[in-house]
Structure 1
């Protein structure tokens, strides 16, 4: 899932991490916490650990930092596990949960979250769904986001285009993008890197029409449908006929172009708001366009995962996460870093009211979590399947391949991948 600078993940340097922690022998139980914050954000982490340690003298939470590349985190953890120096808690992408669930070294958090005091039902369904694999709770939510449309009010006003309304359609979106495209301004943008950043923007259009990514048993691709092709052809027509889409082939240019007033609308998440506010853009946020009144979106929950370094340490880590995810701490951790609350109860706190004042229209993203009704498949093969779909989308938007042909080819490749991993 896509993350801004506030969510750049930092893993611990392997030297001196796992082996130095105690398991209750002659001192407090040490819990090594791999997180993803730097500078002011790291201070939030350090203060949370400090407060917990003060209230729980039998435990010492040890925040730690190291690498800044979130994409390497799974590999780093695997190396640490192999070397006997794994952290007790690590921030992990939600898409990694199916892989992690198969590891015997991942601590089962099912009993922790099922305790009524934990408040598991207070987390949004998309968060809970990603955390659970085959009945096992692999992690607890650390961050949640979703996709909506962020638009530049000044550009809409200049083009005489009405602001997007909650019931708008994809045809409305295309028409608005066409009218916004003029004088060096693109109506919208699409990252065509072929990565998950490309793919997860497409799945809501499939779901909104009643489609699925994989068959119900997870053994076959289900995205090669006429409805999915029609959705992708809409983007292809915008790119080739309307010339209203900026095709970002490295995925790093469309946000700065929006911030500089060169793009009218972007499909993005709440992580984009901080930089937009810094650039003093007059913006609004609206839910995704829909089909027949369905405005489903896709959420990108990431998790805290506990690794079993011994009974006392694992239990202490789970207890810390139960504390960390309470509404009061959630307000400090998520809202303090400009992210959405991971719990519904957090929205009732004064801190959330201030959050919505500091980030205008961020409440649209929070409410949009109710539109995140489905999750990406919890199968190990998903990253490889996603890669094939990402290539298909890029071939349609950049290369002009007919959508039906591109998706059919991706579906055949996906079936082969899924067959191998049965």
Structure 2
């Protein structure tokens, strides 16, 4: 065991552990009592749980706020040792190679098939039942997302929070040009029309109406896939043509998508929004955090634009999951770490501080953002952010960053007037098939 490795990589979170009464010294558990309705007994034996994940999921402060502190109160004998997988040499594959396999891995959807390939994806259903965790409290799409990405009929993880998207708008620009504010429940077309009313050159400044981010966001919203079940590209089809035409309607017009905004660059557009030169942007927690540092921006937020054929849904599920590894010798203790994270108190605290809860509890949704100090006394419509249901996509086996880049490049070729929509999609279709076939050959 590389003890020095853990000291260098992780932060020791002062917390505490549990183990089932009757656990062996190696962490194995005894058979459950015959009376399955009785709550499981928990001993005071100390145990350390190794938690591995990217620093981007939880900061040091958030680890303390949402894991360390509440766990210390509830189970004062569990200690959590954190490993930052973003550090060089500490990626999941490298930890496995070194024999330093964590008890819990936190990561997004792509982590689940990775765990499965490493034979580490663990069926958490028995522990969920054993500890009477009520899954009805959790928004069902988050649970579906875990099964879909793990390609399993069981839960190989549980969700922590959701990076929900919404429509942020600059009230000052709408007031300046006497255009009515956006409102909850608008479609892409309606938001696009508002953007066109704002877009103009005025007093030497080019004001832009709307940045919708990449077309892949909307594709996820309506479950529009890049490939069919046989891993053949379906980019050159009518649904994708309609998607590109919709994006052209809401974004690609003179004054709004001129250079340097003829690429899909979220950071540049968020900067323009904060400068007061862009009226609307579909943002998420990054935008919320940026606005905390921009007190002079007169802004508000409404629900994410909806597709007229799928009303009530935002973009795809975007949640980090906590998965117990199959090799963990402290599965019960690990489960109680996750159970604590999903408790009403912790989820409410997360929501108040700007992380969208995975609970279906309406009270939790209404409290979203209310403890963010910079927004105190403001009447922002923050409860709109978690209002819509997330969409769940069934990703084809070969979907990833490289296939998504083909979609992005295809639309940018249209933005840059290098190709019309039909040509861009035909080329994307060819590139997608070539890429997937190369991956299939590598596997043989």
Q: TM-score range by the shorter chain?
A: 0.7 to 0.9
Could you tell me which residue of structure 1 aligns to residue 387 of structure 2? 367
Larger Rg: 2
Change (3 A) 1:45 1:150: same
Could you tell me which residue of structure 2 aligns to residue 188 of structure 1? 210
Task: Return the offset for 1:117.
Answer: 2.1
Could you tell me which residue of structure 2 aligns to residue 314 of structure 1? 331
Contact 2:352 2:370 in 1 (8 A): no
Indicate which of 96, 111, 114 corresponds to 2:111. 96
Contact 1:164 1:286 in 2 (8 A): no
Contact 2:165 2:284 in 1 (8 A): yes
Report matched runs for 1:16-415 at 5 Å.
Answer: 16=7, 23=26, 28-34=46-52, 41-46=59-64, 48-53=67-72, 55-65=74-84, 67=86, 76-114=91-129, 117-132=132-147, 133-182=151-200, 183=202, 184-189=206-211, 198=214, 200-204=216-220, 206-207=222-223, 211-215=224-228, 217=229, 219-236=231-248, 241-245=253-257, 246-248=261-263, 250-280=265-295, 281=297, 282-292=299-309, 294=311, 296-298=313-315, 299-311=317-329, 313-332=330-349, 334-335=350-351, 337-345=353-361, 347-348=363-364, 352=368, 354-355=370-371, 358=376, 360-368=380-388, 370=389, 372-375=390-393, 377=395, 379-415=397-433
Q: Distance in 2 between matches of 1:235 and 1:243?
A: 15
Give the length in aligned residue pairs. 391
Render the CA deviation track for 1:42-95: whole Å, top value 9, x for unaligned: 234235324424543553222455747xxx89x811111111113222321223
SS of match in other structure, 1:319: helix
Q: Distance in 1 between matches of 2:188 and 2:45?
A: 60
Change (3 A) 1:131 1:344: same
Q: Distance in 2 between matches of 1:317 and 1:116?
A: 12
Q: Calculate the TM-score normalised by the size of structure 2.
A: 0.75
Q: Distance in 2 between matches of 1:130 and 1:343?
A: 15
SS of match in other structure, 1:366: coil
SS of match in other structure, 1:60: strand
Task: Return the offset for 1:405.
Answer: 2.4
Task: Return the offset for 1:288.
Answer: 0.6
Task: Return the offset for 1:240.
Answer: 5.1
Gaps of 5+ in 2: 18-24, 29-43
Render the CA deviation track for 1:133-189: whole Å, top value 9, x for unaligned: 221322211221233321111111212222224453433333222221123211122
Change (3 A) 1:156 1:242: same
Gaps of 5+ in 1: 1-11, 192-197
- Tell me how large the CA RMSD over aligned residues is: 3.7
Q: Calculate the TM-score normalised by the size of structure 1.
A: 0.78
Q: Distance in 2 between matches of 1:171 and 1:51?
A: 45
Contact 1:31 1:59 in 2 (8 A): yes
Task: Return the offset for 1:339.
Answer: 0.8
Change (3 A) 1:218 1:46: farther
Contact 1:214 1:220 in 2 (8 A): yes
Task: Return the offset for 1:273.
Answer: 1.6
SS of match in other structure, 2:207: coil
Q: Distance in 2 between matches of 1:350 and 1:381?
A: 35
Q: Distance in 2 between matches of 1:269 and 1:283?
A: 13
Q: Which protein is richer in helix relative to its size?
A: 1
